[in-house]
A and B are shown apart, each in its own frame.
Chain A
Amino acid sequence: NAGVTQTPKFRILKIGQSMTLQCTQDMNHNYMYWYRQDPGMGLKLIYYSVGAGITDKGEVPNGYNVSRSTTEDFPLRLELAAPSQTSVYFCASSYSSNWPFFGQGTRLTVV
């Protein structure tokens, strides 16, 4: 099992560009999450999904969009990138009320 796979691992974007961070899991988990982690800070929830076709906002959703067309995939879309979106992005998945399993992260820099 690969677990939670995120691509790309690193990316540099220019202000105003857009991109999609990919996340896929092969554990048949129903819950999936996107977090961002700024240097020296904790994890902040951007969006989450409790199943295919269902998504909801977390603590810091502005500037991002998600979709969940399948159980396995949960891409995060950044529209009009801003320097404030420079961060490390983690995707995670879990069974319902269980502990989440994380992907290796995507380091994004917006310049």
Chain B
Amino acid sequence: RKEVEQDPGPFNVPEGATVAFNCTYSNSASQSFFWYRQDCRKEPKLLMSVYSSGNEDGRFTAQLNRASQYISLLIRDSKLSDSATYLCVVIPIQGAQKLVFGQGTRLTINP
């Protein structure tokens, strides 16, 4: 089993729709979680951290389910500019030097 797994997609959704995707992790002792966004031919950029209590940033909501070992990202009222690849990142208990990236989920928002 991979340390971090994501559905690679692609997800194609119409503008204005709500879309959600998950990321599962295998190490139950993992300590920190993040979502990154990567545009085509660009570097990954931090989208948001994922806290135990869940967190929201505008149209984006991230949640952590430690019991089932997954994190989720929900995008409401999707915009064309949300088209990108979304990467989940997990920092294990050993520290940030061992952080692991998922392979990414590709999202395309259609007009």
Q: Which residues of A contact B89 (CB under 8 A)?
A: 99-100
Interface contact A48-B97, CB-CB below 8 Å:
yes
- Is A103 a contact partner of B43 (Cβ separation < 8 A)? yes
Inter-chain contacts of B21 with A (CB < 8 A): none
A-B contact count (CB 8 A): 44
Q: Complex: how many Å from CA A100 to CA B43? A: 11
Chain B residues in 8 Å Cβ range of A102: 43-45
Q: Does B46 contact A (CB under 8 A)?
A: yes
Using Cβ atoms and an 8 Å threshold, which residues of chain B touch A33? 97
Contact A50 B97 (CB under 8 A): yes
Interface size class of A (residues with CB under 8 A): 20 to 34
| Nearest neighbor of B6 in chain A, beta-carbon distance | A42
With an 8 A cutoff between CB atoms, is A97 at the interface?
Answer: yes
Q: Which residue of chain A lies nearest to B31 when distances are taken between CB atoms in the complex?
A: A97
Which residue in chain B gives the minimum CB-CB distance to A56?
Answer: B97
Task: Give the residues from 20 to 64 in chain B that come closer than 8 angstroms, CB to CB, to chain A.
Answer: 31-32, 34, 42-46, 49
CA distance A32 to B44 in the complex (A): 15
Contact in complex: B95, A104 (CB < 8 Å): no
Q: In A41-71, which residues have CB < 8 Å from any B CB?
A: 41-43, 48, 50, 56
| Bound-complex Cα distance A35 to B99 (A) | 12
Bound together, the chains give a CA A56 to CA B43 distance in angstroms of: 23
Select which of A42, A94, A99 is within 8 A of B49 by beta carbon.
A99
Interface residues in chain B, defined as those with a beta carbon under 8 Å from any beta carbon in chain A: 31-32, 34, 42-46, 49, 87, 89, 91, 95-97, 99, 101-104
